Structure 1
Amino acid sequence: MALDHCVIHVSDWNRSNMFYRDVVGAEVVPRGAGFVYRWGRQQLNCHGPGVRAEPLARLPVQPGNSDLCFAWDGTVEEARAHLATCGVAVELGPVPRQGGRGEGTSLYFRDPDGSLLEFIVYP
């Protein structure tokens, strides 16, 4: 079993598309009135302006209330430099964290809606 996709909610398609493409390296794929963000076989489905999703969670995801972690293929220093180049502030890190592959080192930052994002680097 593997996680196929999860859902975030965005408030502005253009702003979010640029962020997830440029900062997180997503392929931005049009779907209906909205978009999905894809990395190979992993995907974030997006709810946002003009998208009417059914069915929904009992308490549907809202802009800015997601926590997501992405494995960074490089060093923590490279991840920090990438975020700086993109004008994204690091809120916390580097800090040791336990991820899906074991021990790693993480940097935390926010997407344009305020969702907490993490780049984890594994040794």
Structure 2
Amino acid sequence: MIHHLDHLVLTTADEQACIDFYVGLLGMTLETFGQGRKAFKFGGQKINLHVKGSEFEPKAHLPVPGALDLCFIAARPLDEVIARIRERGVRIVEGPVRRTGASYPLRSIYLRDPDLNLIEISERAEA
């Protein structure tokens, strides 16, 4: 019945810090749409951004910053991603480690965004 994910919503306590992380560090594109709404676009998906206390309706029952655990597949080798993250002074919480992805084994690192959401960045692991 379901084919794929179109978008998800991230609630942030600090809009600019969130934009700096997802656009400045991870290289997503900032899109403004509708009545001043913002989203991060990458590949064929997007993350809609809500600011805590000013969420758009309808919204999740209890939207809170820091409740997400997301896994992204890197568009370049993971070692390049690691180098960029380290150059920017962002702490890698764990990894690289092997994980199980939706379609294949992964080689992953973990870091936290400004709201403390857990962000996994992965590449396809060698068999």
Shorter-chain TM-score above 0.5:
yes
1:68 to 63, 67, 70: 70
Cα deviation code 1:62-110 (max 9, x no counterpart): 1111111110123332121011122211000011011123101000000
Question: Could you say which residue in structure 2 is the equivalent of 1:10?
Answer: 12
Q: Supply the RMSD in Å over aligned alpha carbons.
A: 1.7
2:57 to 54, 77, 90: 54
Question: Could you say which residue in structure 1 is the equivalent of 2:81?
Answer: 79
Question: Could you say which residue in structure 1 is the equivalent of 2:43?
Answer: 40
In structure 2, runs of 5+ residues without a counterpart are: none
Cα distance between partner residues in 2 of 1:51 and 1:73: 32
- Would the alpha carbon gap of residues 72 and 41 (structure 1) be closer, same or farther in structure 2, given more than 3 Å must change? same
Q: How many residues align?
A: 122
Q: Tell me if structure 2 keeps the 8 A contact 1:34–1:51.
A: no
Cα distance between partner residues in 1 of 2:62 and 2:101: 26
Q: Tell me if structure 1 keeps the 8 A contact 2:38–2:48.
A: yes
What's the offset of the Cα at 1:58? 2.7
Q: Tell me if structure 2 keeps the 8 A contact 1:7–1:47.
A: yes
TM-score, normalised to structure 2, is 0.86
Dislocated runs of 4+, deviation >6 Å? none
In structure 1, runs of 5+ residues without a counterpart are: none
